[in-house]
Structures are given as structure tokens and as C-alpha cells.
Amino acid sequence: MSAESGAELIPLVVAIIGLGVTSQVLADRFRVPSVLFLLSAGVIFGPVGFGLLDPSSFGTALSAIVGLSVAIIVFEGAFHLKLNKLREAPSAQIRLVTLGAGIALLGTAAVVHFALGEAWDISFLIGALLVATGPTVINPILAVVPVRNRVAAALEIEGIVNDVTAAILAIVMFEVVVLTGGESFALVDFLSEFVNKLGTGIFVGLLVSLAIWYMLRHVDLSRENAPQNARLLVLAGALVAYAAADFFAHEAGIAAVATAGILLGNADLPYEEKIEEFKGDITLVVLSFVFITLAALLEPSDLFSLGIGGVVVVLTVMLVIRPLLVFVSTTGTRFTRGEKLFLSFVGPRGIIPASVATLFAFRLQNNQTIPNADAAATTLIGTVFLVIVVTVVFEGGFARHIAERLNVIPMRVLIIGGGKVGRSLAERLEDRGENVVLIEHDETIIETARDQGFTVHKGDGTDTNVLRSAGADNARIVVAATGDDDVNLLVAQLADSKFDAETIIARANNPDNVDAFEDLGVRTISSSLATAWAIDNVIERPALSDWMTELGRSGDVQEIEVTEPDLVGKSIAELDAELPGGVLIALVGRDGKTQVPSEEFTLQDGDHVTFLGRREAVRDAIDLCHPR
């Protein structure tokens, strides 16, 4: 590249980075995935728009730039994949990245073949690319849609793992297309090539991650600049892993950086927070550059040339294949129907399909051995980008509305103390579908709680930063349930002064502390008095005691506020006639007073009605009287 042409690239690079940063800021401001703004910027300012950006100026170097950029993006996503998230819904996650990925591959290939009339090899190439969702589009969604941890974990792990799987599948499939020149190929050859690339990538990634771990743990990097050197070492390691694996097995670099990222992200490295911050900033710049550049290369004619067949492909991928693979993968798990639908309708495609499809399109156009290579390249790039644009706009842009409509945004509950009391409370709340996070510092208790399937945040619950990192800013309820009254009081006061929780409750282990707690404005539950009441119920009210034990399982008690105009003015008898069987109106609260209502009692706006009965019947009553 001449000095003159190099100088011409400087304004182009600066403009792309500037647009990328602006897109990221706008995405944070409007709380939508940044991919939406990045794609828009590339199209608006590219050759088909104002013509201010012309990525073709990079020439043949663009392929290498995109390859290294994708390596950094995949490494960043893999680094954030914590293995303890697998505890949230392991069976569903394993099926999503195996059985689900297989359904996506076969289903997408079939619809591309029949709807667009494309050959099977190109159809499978497109199907392989569209297996991926990816952290670049999933993480921004999860940042603005606080779904339950098991849902978030499933989406995150599916995105990271399938990014790698899709890239390797597509790379192997592309080589099959090139090598066979569009003719038939042997399945054994395909599987052999896939295993070779995956195995090489995993091996190289393992070696590189071990070398980096050893240097960070056992080598004095520098007393003054150790955090900076650690950040640079990790970044260099990711690029070395990509290049080394690619050298030994062409296109195996993606598997290498993914392996290195997962291993290093779970290795408890020194300066880990600093490394994450640095990598996050680098990834934002790289992501902005790649997405804007690829969008600027997109020709509208590539999309429109697909015609009605392209619409069929997009709708089938979104409304048939995605729901099918989700429901098959989550059968027999703890996911509710609403959560399964949310997973079904929120699966936008991201950077891996876009970048890899663009590279393949370049190579197809430059390969004269494949029949109709130009037409195949147009179909490839058009189909992949059409799916990306539509899924990002509708599934990413409306993700929060979808979550609210399906009622999958849970009440977030923080319980400080993972002992028997905290775990028992967490179990009851999770049985009702709430999103519960335990905070605990004792390693033995943490291990026990995680083995039982609970989400546990390690740390001191009296530390404001620990509370915030566990989600206290978004928590509606904070419960201090440790065996230390001083800790419980301090947690309750911190939650009240620093965070905006609706309800704060403290456990008082010593009944003599109850009055002191309540004098300080802390809502308090005495362990001793609660035990005495429970024993008294067993003696005097055994049937009620047995039923109370089943609360949250077969039975339930729930309270709603009367806000629906249709309820105001109704008598208890009229409301009771509309309720499903197995539920009673137990109490009505008004102006701070609670009573057992008579049949003639008339509801007013702001009344609080308590339903008691079978769990399913209580939920149906709430949906009838207080739809969300």
C-alpha cells in the first residue's frame, strides 16, 4: 500500500470509529442493541447512502482486518462466560447448543433450498451461518431486559457457543463448496474436516491460555505497571491463539480464541476487573468498526433480489424454526411457557454471520471454479443480512415489549445469607417464578447453595459495591437473613439509604432486638417468635398449619391492588362468581385496615384483595382481576 493511499485511509478509519462511538452512545441512551445503530450508520453513510464511507478502499486487507476483529469479539464474549452459569439450566443449555443448533442448521438449509431454489451446498452454508445468535446482540438486550437468570444464562451461553460452532461449521462447509466445485461431497470428509479444525483450535487455545495463566500468576510483570501489562498480555494472547491455530488448520482460529477466552475467564486471574474493562473498550471499538464497514458494503439490490422467497426464509427462521428448537430444547425444564416464548422470539443474529458471510461472498466472487459463483454470493450475502436486519430490528428493538407482554420480567429479590433460612425462602420464591439472588461469603455455604441450584453472589452483604454488583439497584425486595443481627441491621440500613427497594426485611435472631430494629424503621421478623407461632399453629390449627406448609407449592396466597375500572364498584359476591374454582377472597385491605369481607362488601379503587387457594387457581384469579 502506497503512502498516499495510506493517508487516504486515515479519514475513513476516523469516520468509522466516530460513527461507531456515536452509535454506542445512542444505543445506551435509547436502550436498544447497538447493532441497530451500527447497521444504520453503515448503510446511511456508505456508498448507497451519502457515499462518505467506501470500505473497498481497504482492498484485500479488509479480509484480515475482519478476521482479527472477529477473533477479539469472540474472545471477549468467551471471557465473560462463567461456568457457574451452567448451573442455572444445564440441560436446556446443552440441548440448545447441540439439538437446537442441529434443528436450526437443517431447518434453515431446507427453507433456503426450497424457497430460494438454491443448491444444497450453498443452502447448508447459509444454514450454518444462521445458527449463531451471538453475545454482540444478546448482551445489549439482556442489559435492558432483566429476565430471570436461567433465561439470561441460556441466551448468553447459546450465543457464545453457537458463535463458535456456526463459524466452524460454515468455514468447513465453505471449503467443501470450494473443493467440490458445487458437486456432491462425502459426509465423512465433512465431519473429519470439522473435527480437525475444532480439535486444533481447542488444543492451541489450551496451550496459549496455560502460558498466559502461568505468566500472570508466577512472573513479576512489573510492580508499577502490572495491571497494564496484564491487559496487554491477555489481548496479545488472544491474537496469538487466533493466528497460531489458523496457521496449523485454516480457519481454526475462532475455536482457539473461544477456548482461550473461556479458560482464562474462569481462571481467577489477577487484575481480572482491569482486564475485563480494557477488553470491553477494545471490543466496542472493533465491533463498531466491523459492523459499520460490513453494512457499508451491503447493496440493497442483494436484499431485494431475493423477492418473496427471502421473506419466506426470514419468517420461517423467526416464527417456525426458532420456536421449534427452543421448545424442543427446553422440554422438561424449569422454564415457564412465557420464558420459552421469550427465548423463541428473541434470537437476533449478529456479527459472526455478517462478517463471515461477507468474507465468503468475496471469495466466491473471486473463484471461477464454482458454477454461478456470483449468483451464489449474492444469495449468501442477501439472505444472511436480511435475517440479521429483520431480527435485530424486530426481536432486538422490541425485546423489552415482548418480555413485558409475556410477563417474564420477574421481581428481583436479594437475600443476604445463604444458610438454611435464606435457601428455604429462596426456594419458595423461585417456585413462584421470582428471580432470587443469594449473597454469601462462606465458601462451604456457597457450594451447598449452588449444588441445590440457587444463584449465589460471593461477597460481604454489608459492602455497598457487593450489593450493587448482585443487582440491588434493580431489586424490589432485600432480605437480610444471616445469623448475625448486627449484619442484618446494617444490610437493611444500607439497602434503605443506598438503593430503591420497595420492601426491606431483616431477620432478628434475638427477640430482644426486634423493638430496636423497628424503632430504626426496619421491618423485622423474629426467628424465635416465628417458630413459636408455627408451633402454636400446629397445636391449635393443625389443618391450617399443614396447608401453610404447602404455600408456594400446591397452595398459594397472593395480594393485588384494585386498579382495574371493571373491579371498582363490584361486590364480593359478584367478583366471587367470576373467579375459578379452588380460590377464595380471604381479606380486603382499605385505609390501613384489613377485614374479612361480607358478600355485600363493595370494592373501591386502591383496595387490596388477598386471594387464598390452590396455586393455579390463585394465579388465574390474579390474571382475571389484575391483568399484566
Please state the domain extents for the chain.
3-406, 412-539, 554-625
Mean of per-residue pLDDT scores for the chain: 81
| Cell numbers placing 92 | 436446556
> Would you state the pLDDT for residue 324?
95
Positions in the chain whose pLDDT score sits under 70: 1-8, 31-33, 84-90, 178-187, 189-190, 221-224, 279-280, 367-371, 410-411, 432-433, 544-554, 623-628
Distances (CA, A) of 341 to 107, 335, 337: 19, 10, 6
pLDDT at 628: 47
CATH number of 554-625: 3.30.70.1450
d(CA 177, CA 37): 34
pTM, two decimal places:
0.66
The amino acid sitting at 559 is: E
Which pLDDT value is given to residue 185?
56
Report yes or no: 308 and 252 within 8 Å, Cβ to Cβ.
Answer: no
- What is the reported pLDDT for 549? 65
Grid-cell match 417456525, residue found: 320
Q: CA 234 to CA 273: how far, in whole Å?
A: 13
As a 3-state breakdown, the chain gives helix, strand, coil percent values, each rounded to 5, of: 65, 10, 25
The correct CATH number of 412-539 out of 3.90.1150.10, 3.40.50.720, 3.40.50.20, 3.40.1020.10 is 3.40.50.720
- 345 closest CA partner among 492, 147, 524: 147
Q: Is 3-406 in CATH node 1.10.3720.10?
A: no
Looking at this protein, which amino acid is placed at residue 107? G
Q: What is the pLDDT of residues 175-230, one digit of tens each?
A: 777 656 555 556 676 677 778 888 898 999 999 999 999 998 888 766 667 888 88
- How confident is the model at residue 527, as a pLDDT? 74
As given in the structure block, the three cell numbers for residue 49 are 447512502
